[in-house]
Amino acid sequence: MRRTVFILLVCFQGLTPAVGHQPLLPAPQQIEYGGGRLPLRGLSIQVATPSPEDQFAATELSSFLSRRAGATIPVVTGKPSGPVITLTRTGAVDALPGADDHAGPDSREAYEVRIDGRGAEIRARSSAGLYYGVQTMRQLVEGEGSDAALPEVALHDWPAMAYRGFMMDTSHGPLPTETEIERQIDFLARWKANQYYFYSEASIELRGYDLVNPGARYTQEQVRQIIAYARARHVAVVPTGEFYGHLHDVFRMERYADLSLLPHSGEINPRNERTQALVADWIQQFAALFPSPWFHIGFDEPWELERTKDLLGGDPSSLYIERLKQTVALVEKAGKRPMFWADVQSGAHIFQKYPDLFSQLPKSVIAVPWVYNPRPDYSDFVAPFAREHIQQVVAPAIACYGQISPDFYYTFANIDGLVRDGRKYGALGVINTGWTDSGQMLYRASLPGMAYGAVAGWQTPPISQGQFFSNYSTQMYPALAAADVATALDKLSAAEASLAKTLGRGRTIQQIWADPFAPERLAHAESSLAALREERLLAEDAQERVQRALASTGDTYSLPSLLVNARMLDYAGMKYIYAGEIGGFFQNAGKNPNRTDIAFLSRQIVSWDHGRVADLMDMLTTAREMYRSAWRDEYTDYRLGVELRRWDLEYEYWARFQTRLEDLFRTFKEGDTLPTLEELWPHF
């Protein structure tokens, strides 16, 4: 196809899309739009340099374009009869990131897209570059059915960071199904992520350890299937183990309890020869199972390290660096490049306590400084490694592990700042971490945060936080639903942030199950009714918009978990509002209310059909079933019983509360003294 000269409309696209065209995520490094368009109907797709990888990319493009056009856009061989989209690879297949990739316009993943009225071409050095060109072409499509077309455009794109990963925690909370992990990988690949960090403390089957988590782990065959699935989408699956701390799932077994520093604890005893043999065996098995050239050894949060001086003797920092070097050597012997979590001013603050460790690190290791909250400057986390010429990958997080619903703006600020300062100090890439510490979140609600992390690692200009939900939803959902979903995401994040600020007592997922009549909480609820009502209005607005989007799209993947989160936020607000209102009713009734006052209290609080307690019980039972259904669509049943029990205990709390007040109001006589809620509280 001849190279057309285009009218320059947008170059180095950043915060806003070209007028009249689709927003692209990530924003391409260079893009020029012309005035023409290429209708989809009548197109075919041809692979100039056939390989299984390129054929897969062509098939994906064919499937997507065919759906948008309402007509088949075939992949053809031989001479096409009409306009054609050509996929041209100019170099080796080079499907996955290697041990020492680089970013930039001449990188393995760079690609070009050119479209005019006569046809189109995606050109790249590698199959990965072609695949990313396909993802961008999908986003370029405008219109539906017979009106669907590609705009006239020329773009050249490349990654700002060579490694763009997401880490899924499969150990602290629920266990995603194999299918769910594959869905996550498919989703991440759309936004040009190229690594999936498989975090496992003890959730992967290893030979010789049959007793360790038999009901909560992946078989080696499942892991191989996930790796193969990811490879087709140019995503490397990186083993992410824990070879110092976080091994409680192993040490809780009596057979292995004496291998930990403290029996049944979470950290290894580095002086125990059996422990050293276990670590060496696990590293060999992981290295054989995962083809990735990178290998993450963990080493975060060794909380018990400070006790080693008393238990084992010696200096804690010396023991830490000794053990790190030994583990690095084992990984390198297995032919892999080691990386580790670096607790700088996070976790156990190891490098803050012992700054001499920076200079003692082996130069071959990749440091992963991690921090999960917004800060104006992250230089203290990344600059020390740069000074010591230690390569690094930065790790922000999606704020969902202690929240009812993800706090996306908190997340975005963390990702933006850490990626910005990581790039300033030469970081190789980013790992957007997905922790499940509370064990209760539905991780699909975090999909926008997963996309944001991948986009931040690819594009050079900062992401426009204010536009992100709109741009993301435009690419994810049909036009009829996109605006509703974008607004719902904004409202959900605002509701989560508002609830956290209002309750002021740590993670919101803990507060949803807390006792609202505990004296301190009750006083706080009574003084925060206006803020709680605002939080409920945000949650209800989000709920309404997600319901509309569900009705118009039939989406069963990304929207149901958002609806559950909206209901849970609504319930949390209602719970504390009602507690505050009930507290007010008791105060207004005084010490010696008459029968009319008691009847009023009974109707307002414990009426079986329209009282406040009945409202809470109704909402709980409905939301519980929605939650259970969403869980089973995403996870195995491991830990489901624990989480459903929280819902059941919450219901039982209100049932006891209702019974206690019913008995009080039924037997109350003129002249009796009405106890305060604080006096009644221990009996609920």
Euclidean distance between CA atoms 232 and 63, whole angstroms: 16
pLDDT reading at 17 higher than 60: no
Asked if residues 80 and 111 have their Cβ atoms less than 8 Å apart, the reply is: no
How many CA atoms within 13 Å lie on the side-chain side of 633?
Answer: 19
Each residue's pLDDT tens digit, 101-126: 999 999 999 999 999 999 999 999 99
pLDDT score of 81: 85
The partner residues of 296 in beta bridges, in order of sequence, read 240, 339
For residues 307-328, average pLDDT? 90
Euclidean distance between CA atoms 210 and 265, whole angstroms: 20
User: Phi, psi at residue 324, to the nearest 5°?
Assistant: -60, -45
pLDDT score of 325: 98
The SS3 of residue 298 is coil
pLDDT score of 385: 98
100 Cβ contact partners less than 8 Å away, ≥ 6 residues apart: none
Go through the domains of the chain in sequence order and give each one's CATH number. Answer: 30-157 (3.30.379.10), 163-460 (3.20.20.80), 484-683 (1.20.120.670)
pLDDT score of 13: 40
Binning the chain into helix, strand and coil, the percentages to the nearest 5 are 50, 15, 35
Q: In 10 A of CB 212, how many CB atoms?
A: 22
pLDDT score of 15: 35
Each residue's pLDDT tens digit, 597-636: 999 999 999 998 889 999 999 999 999 999 999 999 999 9
pLDDT score of 80: 83
Euclidean distance between CA atoms 26 and 28, whole angstroms: 6
Each residue's pLDDT tens digit, 143-183: 999 999 999 999 999 999 999 999 999 999 999 999 999 99
The pLDDT mean for the chain works out to 95
pLDDT score of 311: 81
13 Cβ contact partners less than 8 Å away, ≥ 6 residues apart: 24, 27, 28, 31, 461
How many degrees, rounded to 5, is the angle at CA 406 between CA 402 and CA 409? 120
Asked if residues 92 and 126 have their Cβ atoms less than 8 Å apart, the reply is: yes
Phi-psi region of 369 (alpha: psi -120 to 50; beta: other; left: phi over 0): beta
For residues 408-420, average pLDDT? 98
Euclidean distance between CA atoms 124 and 494, whole angstroms: 41
Asked if residues 191 and 164 have their Cβ atoms less than 8 Å apart, the reply is: no
Euclidean distance between CA atoms 408 and 348, whole angstroms: 26
279 Cβ contact partners less than 8 Å away, ≥ 6 residues apart: 243, 268, 327, 330
Stronger pLDDT, 7 or 555, i.e. the higher one: 555
Q: What is the 3-state secondary structure (H, E, C) of 525-574?
A: HHCCHHHHHHHHHHHHHHHHHHHHHHHHHCCCCCCHHHHHHHHHHHHHHH
Which tokens belong to 61? Answer: 């493009």
pTM: 0.96
Q: How far is CA 655 from CA 140, 215, 256, 617, 652, in A?
A: 55, 34, 43, 8, 5
Say if residue 8 is exposed, middle or buried (CB neighbours under 10 Å; 0-12, 13-18, 19+).
exposed
Phi-psi region of 427 (alpha: psi -120 to 50; beta: other; left: phi over 0): beta
Each residue's pLDDT tens digit, 283-307: 999 999 999 999 999 999 999 888 8
The partner residues of 157 in beta bridges, in order of sequence, read 111
pLDDT reading at 9 higher than 90: no
How many degrees, rounded to 5, is the angle at CA 420 between CA 417 and CA 424? 135
pLDDT band at 11 (very low <50, low <70, confident <90, very high): very low
pLDDT reading at 7 higher than 60: no
